[in-house]
A and B are shown apart, each in its own frame.
Chain A
């Protein structure tokens, strides 16, 4: 158990809909990262927040957005869903920012999104 929690575990929805995925980082971690794992694209970095502020952006679509709240939990919002958005969405957390020697990312178990 990494200490990172994600809810829900599974989500099934229809095209055009909007969903929210939630992540609670490990106690004491200030950074939250979101990744998407799909058969087509593999594991891709989406976005990172550090202490409530957006820190880095990866291959995140404009239909997707995220935020980190004062209690440090984070939500990933996916809107106007398409079939191709079906994937496993991982959240990771770390103490600080960057990927240096002392800033290991700990991954949650993921949320499996199925768009029908």
Chain B
């Protein structure tokens, strides 16, 4: 069964600094990987996804993530943090062992704090 580990339940960066949120996955087959963002009192919004095409994936709001099979990682980065980036970020994984009909497996989430 697949699983996702997000390192750091809270990450604090200064406005304008690099954002790096870590995600490692465990899957028996090459997975599809996702990053979602959740703003307070809202549902989840897809930031980006890896589906076995390019290993460097660009998403919305200036975020990108790189799939590294050798490290089983899919870290999320943004070159310059904005105050509006403060939110909860979730890494999620799916694999195709169940015939593709399955929900997503989410990490515990990382709360991103932006310091002015």
Overall SS of chain B's interface: loop
Q: Give B75-111 as 1s and 0s: 1 = Cβ < 8 Å from A's Cβ atoms.
A: 0000000000000001000101011111111111100
**B104→A45 contact, CB < 8 A:** yes
**A43→B106 contact, CB < 8 A:** yes
Overall SS of chain A's interface: strand
Tell whether A14 is near chain B: CB-to-CB under 8 Å: no
Within 8 A of B (CB), among A75-111: 90, 92, 97-101, 104-110
**Could you tell me how many residues of chain A have their Cβ less than 8 Å away from some Cβ of chain B?**
29
Question: Which among B45, B46, B103, B109 has the greatest number of chain A C-beta atoms within 10 A?
Answer: B103
- What residues of chain B have their CB less than 8 Å away from a CB belonging to chain A? 32, 36, 41-46, 49, 51, 53, 90, 94, 96, 98-109
- What residues of chain A have their CB less than 8 Å away from a CB belonging to chain B? 2, 4, 33, 35, 42-48, 50, 55-56, 58, 90, 92, 97-101, 104-110
